[in-house]
């Protein structure tokens, strides 16, 4: 139920979201994610996971390729806090991301990385960042005063996190990356236990899981581009219904324009629903094949059970009349070692053994 406005009699505590900030998911706030993901390519992700011995990996630090400033020489490891369903936008926004096939990524708990010193990027305009760099260079390497030492250390900690807004650049920079950075010049070392998610195509899961070994059982494998397609199609279908422009019109309302908007909304909805249904149809076909396979296996088992029961009846039946041993009805089989090596029921035993003896 949607949160009512104030003075509606609603009790706000019943609707409160009290999830800690670093754990907020898109279900609670659609633009948030509890993960920080390092995006990379197919060969790179296998190399990262195999970089260390045992159950650990290493993402090596490097100077960001998108850095447009000559002064920035800091080696860092980059992550994004974009929700998983939004990550594939990177391939649409940057040619290099598409060319490197950045459908692959390693995701960690934001909680975990914050405790390891990973921090969000600080954006400033280019001139101000350049001034900070000059100030850092001007401070002596071995200052005599504690204040200068603190200033040098503080600026040295800040500079690796700095990025320019590029507000005058035609594409206006990279704030859409929602970037976080690890500022360790050696890189970000992690245990397989730290990995929360792996983004990769389904056909690549086996190769990655083989590197991870048993640890793969505790990791979610995500097809983030599928989520992106579904979410963007849904949003496109609803856009016209979410946005209104208030206009003062004459009493003669343009009914045709209104009808066109309504029909366009319905067409977008129908297109989105069709795409979703077509995807479900593929899953339904796969499920039907699985059901048929299960039914076939059950049928074979039932046939085997009947066969086993038939053999039991044959082995434990009277050779005279075919009656079987039945504890409920009290019918028993007899065996006369002297004359009959096979089982006989009581009646056939009497006829074949007892009666001839009585007649004698």
* Contact between 105 and 143 (Cβ < 8 Å): no
Residue 79 has what pLDDT?
Answer: 94
Q: What token pair was written down for 81?
A: 């806090």
Residue 78 has what pLDDT?
Answer: 92
Q: What angle do CA 94, 96, 98 make, to 5 degrees?
A: 75
Residue numbers of the chain with a pLDDT score lower than 50:
146-147, 327-331, 335-341
DSSP type of residue 124: E
Note the pTM of the prediction, 2 decimals: 0.60
Residue 141 has what pLDDT?
Answer: 58
Residue 106 has what pLDDT?
Answer: 92
Per-residue pLDDT tens over the stretch 40-66 = 988 888 888 887 777 888 899 888 876
Residue 194 has what pLDDT?
Answer: 92
Residue 65 has what pLDDT?
Answer: 73
3-class DSSP state of 249: coil
Residue 329 has what pLDDT?
Answer: 44
Instruction: Give, in order, the Cα–Cα distances in Å from 263 to each of 247, 260, 267, 269, 360.
Output: 20, 5, 6, 10, 105
Residue 254 has what pLDDT?
Answer: 64
Residue 25 has what pLDDT?
Answer: 83
Task: Give me the half-sphere count of Cα atoms (radius 13 Å) on the Cβ side of residue 20.
Answer: 6
End-to-end CA distance of the chain: 96
Count the helices and strands in the chain (H runs, E runs).
Answer: 11, 13
Residue 4 has what pLDDT?
Answer: 80
């Amino acid at each position: 139920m949607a949160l009512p406005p104030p003075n509606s009699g609603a009790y706000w505590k019943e609707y409160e979201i009290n999830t800690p900030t670093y754990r907020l998911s898109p279900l609670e706030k659609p633009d948030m994610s509890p993960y920080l993901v390092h995006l990379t390519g197919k060969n790179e992700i296998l190399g990262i996971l195999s970089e260390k011995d045992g159950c650990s990996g290493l993402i090596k630090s490097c100077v960001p390729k998108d850095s447009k400033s000559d002064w920035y020489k800091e080696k860092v490891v980059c992550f994004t806090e974009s929700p998983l369903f939004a990550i594939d936008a990177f391939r649409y926004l940057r040619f290099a991301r598409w060319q490197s096939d950045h459908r692959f990524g390693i995701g960690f708990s934001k909680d975990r990385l914050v405790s390891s010193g990973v921090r969000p990027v600080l954006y400033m305009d280019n001139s101000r960042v350049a001034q900070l760099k000059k100030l850092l260079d001007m401070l002596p390497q071995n200052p005599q005063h504690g204040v200068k030492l603190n200033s040098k250390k503080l600026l040295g900690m800040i500079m690796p996190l700095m990025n320019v807004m590029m507000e005058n650049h035609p594409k206006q920079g990279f704030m859409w990356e929602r970037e976080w950075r690890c500022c360790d010049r050696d890189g970000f070392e992690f245990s397989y236990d730290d990995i929360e998610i792996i983004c990769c195509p389904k056909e690549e899961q086996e190769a990655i899981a083989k590197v991870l070994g048993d640890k793969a059982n505790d990791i979610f494998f995500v097809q983030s581009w599928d989520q992106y397609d579904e979410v963007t199609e849904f949003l496109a279908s609803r856009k016209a219904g979410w946005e209104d422009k208030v206009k003062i019109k004459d009493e003669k309302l343009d009914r045709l324009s209104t009808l066109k908007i309504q029909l366009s909304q319905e067409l977008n909805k129908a297109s989105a629903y069709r795409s979703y249904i077509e995807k479900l149809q593929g899953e339904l076909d796969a499920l039907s094949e699985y059901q048929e396979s299960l039914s076939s296996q059950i049928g074979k088992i039932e046939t085997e059970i009947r066969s086993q029961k038939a053999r039991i009846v044959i082995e434990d039946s009277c050779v005279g009349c075919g009656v079987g041993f039945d504890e409920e009805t009290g019918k028993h089989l007899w065996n006369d070692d002297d004359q009959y090596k096979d089982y006989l029921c009581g009646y056939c035993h009497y006829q074949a053994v007892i009666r001839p003896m009585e007649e004698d």
